[in-house]
Amino acid sequence: MNFIEILLSEKLKNKNPMLDVFGADRKVLQIACQDLTNYLKVHWNMVGREANEWELADKLEEFYQKEPKELEEFIDLWTGIWLKKWSERVKLLIGNEDSKKWDKVTKILNNAEPLWRRLSNRKELQEVVVSTLIRNGEICGTSILAENLLKMELGENKRKYATEKEQKLNLINNTLRRARELTRSKGPLIFVRIDKGYYNNDF
């Protein structure tokens, strides 16, 4: 378990004692950790820098040594905002609920997958989109949203480009526009399908 996981698991459990962050709700903790990492990278201007994960861990530990109370207060505040966003942005789908509605989106994302895998610098492109989401107030599920926005753009935009550079430029410009529009929207953006049996079990 890393430093961010330790800090966040405590705060998430304090704010929502029903969360089993080391069991059934482990995914919630993982997404929160990724989101906090992304948030700090943006606010400490580490986006696009090599070895920024190590740099970030060092900076956090140093902050904790020098200002433990201030860091605690920041993590506490951030976790509260993140949980509120989580309840707005994440919707659990039970069984096949709403499956027709999402068939089209799933098809576009699946079609985009081979194009996405062939794309060089996809990590850097994703970081730029994550950064735009965060700067526009979106702090929940930022990596998932950024990847899906890029894939949607790839899957929908079938036009042929003269060069890979032109394709990437168009891809990033269109995706950043979508990202800004998305941050102004209300309601769920991430849909998690849960097996019906999960809720029918008697404990």
Domain positions in the chain are 3-92, 96-196
pLDDT score at 178: 95
Q: What pLDDT tens digit does each residue of the chain (203 aa) get?
A: 588 898 899 999 999 999 999 888 898 999 999 999 999 999 999 887 766 778 888 888 899 999 999 999 999 999 999 999 999 998 876 666 556 666 788 888 888 999 899 888 899 999 999 999 999 999 999 999 999 999 999 988 877 777 878 888 999 999 999 999 999 998 888 877 655 444 343 33
Give the pLDDT of residue 98: 59
pLDDT for the residue numbered 41: 92
Alpha-carbon gap, residue 74 to 26, rounded angstroms: 22
Instruction: Burial-class residue 110 by CB neighbours within 10 Å (0-12, 13-18, 19+).
Output: exposed
